[in-house]
Amino acid sequence: MRARPLIALAFGLALPALSTLAQAPASPATQVPATLKDAFHGAFYVGVAVNSAQITGADAQGDELIVQQFDSITPENVMKWALIHPRPDAYDFTLADKYVEFGQQHHMFIVGHNLCWHSQTPAWVFKDEKGNPMTRDALLDRLHDHIKTVVGRYKGKVQSWDVVNEALNEDGTMRQSPWEKIIGDDYVIKAFQWAHEADPDAQLNYNDYNMESAAKRKGAIELVKKIKAAGVPVAVVGSQAHLHLSGSAADEEAAIEEFSAAGVKVAITELDIDVLPSTWNHTADVGAKVEEKPNLNPYANGLPDDVQQQLTKRYADLFAVFWKHRDVVNRVTFWGTTDKGSWLNNWPVRGRTSYPLLFDRDGKPKPAFYAVLKAAQQ
Residue 281 binned pLDDT confidence (cut-offs 50, 70, 90)? low
Region 55-70: what's the mean pLDDT? 97
Phi, psi of 114 (to 5 degrees): -140, 170
pLDDT score of 284: 53
166 assigned to active site: yes
> Does the pLDDT of residue 170 top 90, yes or no?
yes
Alpha-carbon gap, residue 324 to 12, rounded angstroms: 21
Q: What class is the 3-12+30-280+293-375 domain?
A: alpha beta
Q: Out of 76, 252, 253, 270, pick the active-site residue.
A: 270
Region 277-293: what's the mean pLDDT? 61
Which of 66, 64, 55 is closest to 101 using CA atoms?
55
pLDDT in tens, 241-252: 999 999 899 999
Asked if residue 115 lies in contact with residue 163, where contact means CB atoms within 8 angstroms, the answer is yes
pLDDT in tens, 176-191: 999 999 999 999 999 9
Give the global pTM.
0.89
Phi-psi region of 11 (alpha: psi -120 to 50; beta: other; left: phi over 0): alpha
Domain extents in the chain? 3-12+30-280+293-375
Residue 20 binned pLDDT confidence (cut-offs 50, 70, 90)? very low
> Does the pLDDT of residue 15 top 70, yes or no?
no
Asked if residue 195 lies in contact with residue 161, where contact means CB atoms within 8 angstroms, the answer is yes
Q: Which of 69-83, 193-207, 340-354 has the lowest mean pLDDT?
A: 340-354
> Does the pLDDT of residue 4 top 60, yes or no?
no
**Which stretch, 31-35, 285-289, 365-369, has highest mean pLDDT?**
365-369
pLDDT score of 8: 39
DSSP element (H, E) containing 164: strand 160-165
> Does the pLDDT of residue 264 top 60, yes or no?
yes
Q: Out of 76, 166, 212, 252, pick the active-site residue.
A: 166
Based on its alpha-carbon atoms, the radius of gyration of the chain, rounded to whole angstroms, reads 20
Residue 348 binned pLDDT confidence (cut-offs 50, 70, 90)? confident
pLDDT score of 19: 43
Alpha-carbon gap, residue 314 to 312, rounded angstroms: 5
